[in-house]
Structure 1
């Protein structure tokens, strides 16, 4: 039995572990944290949606949606185990002007079978009673004297995507994958930091841990989230990468919902590309995050272990942008929510690929938008690894991959570490 070590026990690493264990690999998952999903996964907003800027990612998201709808069936756990649940709410994407970008996305939906409804501005009130229909674009920072001032025009309109919602507990979802992978034979090692790759004859033969232990394997997979860039440097595989990844600090607010609706129970997922925020229902009321407008500088972190978790004016800016659209938003006097790290790539699309070191693979650069893809990524990486280990040159002839449930084939070259920056990307968490 061939052995694989997967570095990272988040939602992506767990899905790869589960699929590789089912495919007959001996799987060991190593993570420096005390539990599965303890890092970026636990900080995920866990939104499930199918609208992205690139066809292949939309197709993967539609496939992924089908797994989240039947999450319990996918992980196949005993009934006494708690299982994460998916709530379908639909997703409302609000846009400015003519909405050309949204037109491209709905064209993609027509190709892949995604369902949607176009709305005139007034149609938004069906989902968001009392919403302000003014346009606030372009987004501004709070030190701009025109921050919060509406323009003369209304928003352009919106698109409502029916196949969308959120997962109630992203950390539990990662634990579900751990338990499912273990049932298939995988083992997990927590509080175990990888300090070096063991390399012999130009291939990794395992990893060395901080406590001196050496774990043997035929293949190593980097699914380290915000730590993945450091792991790639440690492995010496960054030289041929044209796409880099870096930890990107983000703040997300968890606050009471608008006073005029029970957002916890009746709310939907929102992506407001005019006021530049996203939101979803939450037990507190509403979760509000940023859609990364151009005016907001990105804060890249050199050391993921040294991130400052104190809130800044980014939190206030996000909340106030949400209140522009939802005037009855209740804003607490004290910041609440979380500070998280996205493993952000240069074009905000992921890297699912081999590397220049044979036997070392990467599933990184997930940019805060790949949680929903996890079941598909597990299958995709298992396919890519098996074919490459059997001798296929994925760099010279990129593999394609069959999405089993929707029947579509996608070109995996789109996620190559050696690709050009994808000009179709939104260059934001929207992907």
Structure 2
């Protein structure tokens, strides 16, 4: 059973998939987005912490995040629509990133911020106190598990200070933001199919030719884009391209804790984002005057790679471990008896940097391996992926001559080859959600 043909099929209706659909539609492509769940952003995007931050260890990472930042500031104008369900919005909080030997005291980060002209403050431990409620700024590194008898015991008199980046914050509702992009894409001609599972990538004359659905439907298109998040490796296997990629992806199970803020502290409205590599956790303010707490994947914590269709969705000791690590830094943080937060998946690449690329199957493209840190970059990724598709479909060899993408907001060209599937593992990576 064949349905109508499209110019491009996007597998995955998360924030990045919908951004690609929107940008392709703006270029005149008739697109179809397919998702196995019931709506836009229902997958791992819904569980995103939606943090908008500019601190990365590479100039490319900072440049892309800087570009994305302006899209979020300009959100309704960029989408040229108002979603009847409401519009997500960016809330600025500022971010304080802790120095440690683990992150080279943020020297590469500051160098990259300097290269992009991003303003920041270097803070001494004493200066950090104004941003935190009654903090303990001793060092607890290296991180430990709760069953370690030395868990929570300081190992040094003081951490090394921090870098504060005022242009940082988060988006109010990641799922709503994805719906916003869906509405914008529909307004320029995109179609969407939900509760629909892709079971095969069709091939004809040595290139992608569409998809087969679980109900037997065949949908033809000369361009297929894999934006399937934690399921991306499964789609790559359908296309027969995984074995030819030097960098691969896997689904990683993660837990995020929500803990009440200390008594008398309005953390929801006055709190900041923190990235504490000394204790191995990051935080941001959360609705309900809570502190959202995620892991920076310290070496002592096992990484839980899973089948994205069959994994433990219950909380484990990991949730409390993360909360207790923040309580080392903020002793007044209340740790409730009842666990609260979420369990979700990251689509993790071998070096925790994304793959934005063509593949060895002509017509089949990759926007995968987002590793829990690419939500913020979705709008510019949509823009340059649409250009990459045009570039390759016009006969250019992106592997030999990578696309040089001129950014919309900042005066900089980004070498999209940096995100190649065939790159060597980036040893400058944090090998964590930090990227």
Instruction: Place the TM-score, normalised by the shorter chain, in its bin.
Output: over 0.9
Task: Map 1:15-414 onto structure 2 (within 5 A).
Answer: 15-78=19-82, 80-97=84-101, 100-284=104-288, 285-301=290-306, 303-414=307-418
Separation of aligned partners in 2, 1:42 and 1:58: 24
CA RMSD between the two structures? 1.3
Kindly indicate whether the alpha-carbon contact (under 8 Å) linking 2:357 and 2:419 is maintained by their aligned counterparts in 1. yes
Structure 1 Cα separation of the partners of residues 75 and 281 of structure 2: 28
Report the Cα offset of residue 78 of structure 1: 3.1
CA distance in 2, matches of 1:51, 1:223: 24
Aligned to 1:227, the other structure's residue is in SS state helix
Moved more, 209-218 or 40-49: 209-218
8 Å contact 2:138–2:156 — kept in the other structure? yes
Deviation at 1:304, TM superposition (A): 0.5
Query: How many residues are paired up?
Result: 430
Per-residue deviation at 1:95?
A: 2.1
Cα deviation code 1:141-200 (max 9, x no counterpart): 112111110123200000001111001100001100100000010000001100011211
Cα distance per residue 1:396-422 (max 9 Å; x no partner)? 122211111001111111100000000
Q: Kindly indicate whether the alpha-carbon contact (under 8 Å) linking 1:399 and 1:413 is maintained by their aligned counterparts in 2.
A: yes
Report the secondary structure of 2:401's partner residue.
coil
Q: 1:99 and 1:310, CA in 2 relative to 1: closer, same or farther beyond 3 A?
A: closer
- Distance in 1 between residues matched to 2:80 and 2:311, nearest whole Å: 36
TM-score, normalised with respect to structure 2? 0.97
Q: Aligned equivalents of 1:30 and 1:80: distance in 2?
A: 22
Report the TM-score when normalising by structure 1. 0.98
Which residue does 2:420 correspond to in 1?
416
Indicate the residue corresponding to 1:14 in structure 2.
Answer: 18
The 1:101/1:246 distance shift into structure 2, 3 A limit, reads farther
Asked whether the 8 Å contact 2:56–2:112 carries over to 1, the reply is no
Given that 2:357 and 2:365 are in contact with CA atoms closer than 8 Å, whether structure 1 keeps it comes out as: yes
Segments of 5+ residues of structure 2 without an aligned counterpart are none
Measure the CA separation in 2 of the matches of 1:289 and 1:218: 40
Give the Cα–Cα distance (whole angstroms) in 1 for the partners of residues 105 and 157 of structure 2: 19
CA 105–95 in structure 1, closer or farther in 2 if over 3 Å, else same: same
**Contact 1:129/1:260, CA 8 A, preserved across alignment:** no
Shift of 1:81: 4.5
